[in-house]
Amino acid sequence: MNDALKELLSGGESSHVEFKSMGIRPESFARELAAFSNTLGGTILIGVDDDALISGLSDDRRWDEWTSNIARNAVNPSVMPDISFIDVEDRRILRVDVAKGKDKPYQTVHDGKYWLRVGSTVRQATKEELSRLFQAAGLVHYDISPVEGSSVRDLDERKIAEYFSSVYELDYLAADEAEKTRILRNSNITTEVEDSIAATVGGLLVFSEYPERYLPQAVISLAVFNGNEPADPVIQKKEIAGALPGQVEAAMTFASLFVPEPVILDDSARRRDSAVIPRGVLREALVNALCHRDYSISTRKTQLFIFKDRLEIRNAGRLANTLTLEMIRYGNSAPRNMFLVKLMDNLRYIDGLGRGVPMILRSMGDRAEFSEDGDLFKLILRFV
């Protein structure tokens, strides 16, 4: 038995490993393929019982062809797993390696359902999870969806007027009510819902004084710790709400009070203060977090934590579409919230060209670390 197989068997079933006996039914196998493709990928061992005992495969079936046919015909879109046989003494098992899908969401053809891998189990995606799968694939844009219960009255007309004046040289306040309605609807700031008009997610986030009334997750939770771990005492904490541009400015002000500024002497031995995290880097990190977070995840707020040795931003939502951590280092961009990015671009908070991450890396070097953890995207900016 090779070391790779030993490791898979010893770890048992998990979020990345599934054991199946040769009695597995085609529809059950299709669910496993769809679930792994919809999450982070994984390995299926056929010919292994749930208790990790090797039961092997029968000789009455061409198992590689059987697997390929199900992957091609029983999952939509089709998947292309890596298939290999492993011989263990007098028994043979099939190893099926399923990659994280690039064409999400995947469904089983026989029942049209979408599946997710959660721990060591497979379950059907909920309505909210399915919405995020479509959103991550770029098929649905949550930021132009209506916010239930909202209306034009929840938008700040002054903010809207300033936006259209500066970006389009349009006198919004001079327009009559019918024209204002048309402008907001055609700009995706509002949308029609049955017989009424509601603010969109993006419209509310940028042009409302209190978007948190409807989107309680749309706030920044800040905390300063007396140590390097979340369990250490909290020195200061605060929540920042309101429209996104104001959140950026308020968070910048708060962070600047606690990010250390080392003393540097110039050639004439005069003191020159220099923040360990340049303001441009901090601004870019905050704007990226607010523009690219997954606002459909209602249980998580954007978090900005300041420890003794680092500043950390934790944001709801993994990288969207087919982006990877390696790709974003080189300026690749596939925004989750196209409308929100457009608004913040027009307000000159970002340039929409995907240069933010390369700029952060250029300024911070290996003191900047990007990672994904569950449904979180994390950025760490180390002080030294």
In a domain, 153, yes or no: yes
Same domain, 348 and 378: yes
Q: Kindly report, residue by residue over 208-226, the tens digit of the pLDDT.
A: 999 999 999 999 999 999 9
Residue 35 has pLDDT above 90, yes or no: yes
Q: Average of pLDDT values for 52-80?
A: 94
In a domain, 136, yes or no: no
Q: How many residues make up the chain in this entry? A: 384
Cα separation of 210 and 233, whole Å?
31
What Å distances lie between residue 222 and 301, 376, 377, CA to CA? 10, 16, 16
Same domain, 283 and 370: yes
Residue 267 has pLDDT above 60, yes or no: no
In a domain, 138, yes or no: no
Same domain, 174 and 227: no
Given 157, 186, 210, the domain boundary residue is: 210
Same domain, 92 and 196: no
Residue 273 has pLDDT above 50, yes or no: no
Q: Considering the chain, what is the average pLDDT of its residues?
A: 90
Residue 43 has pLDDT above 80, yes or no: yes
Same domain, 205 and 224: no
Cα four-point dihedral sign 255, 261, 266, 269 = positive
Same domain, 206 and 232: no
Same domain, 360 and 234: yes
| Residue whose entry in the numeric block shows the structure tokens 């030993």 | 6
Whole-number percent of the chain with pLDDT over 90 = 73
Same domain, 57 and 86: yes
Same domain, 63 and 188: no
358-364 LR contacts (CB < 8 Å, sep 24+): 358/329, 358/330, 358/331, 359/280, 359/281, 359/284, 360/281, 360/284, 360/285, 361/329, 363/278, 363/280, 363/281, 364/277, 364/281
Q: Which domain holds residue 184?
A: 143-210
In a domain, 57, yes or no: yes
* 276: CATH: 3.30.565.60
Cα separation of 287 and 291, whole Å?
6
In a domain, 134, yes or no: no
Whole-number percent of the chain with pLDDT over 70 = 93
Q: Kindly report, residue by residue over 343-367, the tens digit of the pLDDT.
A: 999 999 887 666 889 999 999 999 9
Q: Average of pLDDT values for 157-172?
A: 95
Q: Kindly report, residue by residue over 293-313, the tens digit of the pLDDT.
A: 999 888 899 999 999 999 999
CB-based contact 104:137 (threshold 8 Å): yes
**The pLDDT value given to residue 271:** 46
In a domain, 118, yes or no: yes
Same domain, 257 and 368: yes
- Predicted TM-score (pTM) of the model is 0.70
Domain count, the chain: 3
Given 210, 231, 266, the domain boundary residue is: 210
In a domain, 215, yes or no: no
Q: Average of pLDDT values for 4-28?
A: 93
In a domain, 23, yes or no: yes
Same domain, 176 and 288: no
Asked, as a colleague might, if the bond just before 77 is cis with ω within 30 of 0, I would say yes
* 81: CATH: 3.30.950.30
Same domain, 251 and 366: yes
